[in-house]
Structure 1
Amino acid sequence: MTSSGFPRRALFGAALALVLASPAAAQLAVFDPTNYASNVLQAARALEQINNQIRALQNQALSLANQARNLAQLPYSSLQAIETNLNRIRDLMAQAQLVAYDVKAIEQEFGRNYTLDASASDLALLSSAQKRWANSAAAFRDALNVQAGVVTGMPAAQAETRALVTASQGATGIVQATQAGNQLLALQSQQLADLTAMMAAQGRATALEQAERAASRDQAREQFRRFMDRKQGYQAQPVEMFH
Structure 2
Amino acid sequence: MIARFNRRRAGRSAALALSLLLSTSPLLGLPASAQGIVYDPSNYAQNVLQAARALQQVNNQIQSLANEAQMLVNQAKNLASLPTSTLNQLRSSLARTQALLSQAQKIAFDVQQIETAFTTTYGPASTSASNAALIASARTRWQTSVAAFEDSLKVQAGVVGNIPDNGTTLTTLVTASQSASGALQAAQAGNQLLALQSQQLSDLAAVLAAKGRADALEQARGTAAEAQGQEQYRRFSTRSGYQPGSVTMFHGQ
- TM-score bracket for this pair, using the shorter chain length: 0.7 to 0.9
Match of 2:57 in 1: 49
Aligned residues: 216
Quote how far apart the aligned CAs of 1:227 are.
1.4
Change (3 A) 1:208 1:21: closer
Match of 2:206 in 1: 197
Matched, 1:99 2:107: yes
2:168 and 2:149 mapped to 1: Cα distance? 30
2:40 and 2:212 mapped to 1: Cα distance? 103
Change (3 A) 1:122 1:158: same
Matched, 1:82 2:82: no
How large is the RMSD of aligned CA atoms in angstroms?
A: 2.3
Matched, 1:172 2:163: no
Match of 2:67 in 1: 59
Match of 1:23 in 2: 33
Matched, 1:156 2:165: yes
1:184 and 1:146 mapped to 2: Cα distance? 23
Out of 224-233 and 133-142, give the one that drifted further: 224-233
Could you tell me which runs of 5 or more consecutive residues in structure 2 were left unpaired when the two chains were aligned. Answer: 1-27, 245-253
Match of 1:128 in 2: 137
Quote how far apart the aligned CAs of 1:140 are.
0.8
Quote how far apart the aligned CAs of 1:32 are.
6.2
2:152 and 2:173 mapped to 1: Cα distance? 30
- Letter of the 2:92 counterpart: T
Match of 1:3 in 2: none
TM (normalized to structure 1)? 0.80
- Letter of the 1:150 counterpart: V
Change (3 A) 1:41 1:226: same
Quote how far apart the aligned CAs of 1:234 are.
7.2
2:172 and 2:166 mapped to 1: Cα distance? 10
Quote how far apart the aligned CAs of 1:232 are.
3.2
- Letter of the 2:157 counterpart: A
Quote how far apart the aligned CAs of 1:33 are.
6.0
Could you tell me which runs of 5 or more consecutive residues in structure 1 were left unpaired when the two chains were aligned. Answer: 1-17, 236-243
Q: How does 1:174-189 map to 2 (within 5 A)?
A: 174-189=183-198
Q: After superposition, what is the alpha-carbon deviation per residue over 1:100-137, rounded to whole angstroms, capped at 9, x for unaligned?
A: 11222211111111011333332322222121112111
Quote how far apart the aligned CAs of 1:197 are.
0.6
Match of 2:148 in 1: 139
2:70 and 2:141 mapped to 1: Cα distance? 73
Quote how far apart the aligned CAs of 1:34 are.
6.0
* Structure 1 residue matching 2:82: 3-state secondary structure: coil
Instruction: From the two aligned structures, give the one with the greater helix fraction.
Output: 1
2:152 and 2:40 mapped to 1: Cα distance? 103
Q: Percent identity?
A: 54
1:143 and 1:152 mapped to 2: Cα distance? 14
Change (3 A) 1:19 1:161: closer
Residue 232 (structure 2) aligned to one of 196, 217, 223: 223
1:187 and 1:166 mapped to 2: Cα distance? 15
1:98 and 1:226 mapped to 2: Cα distance? 30
TM (normalized to structure 2)? 0.77
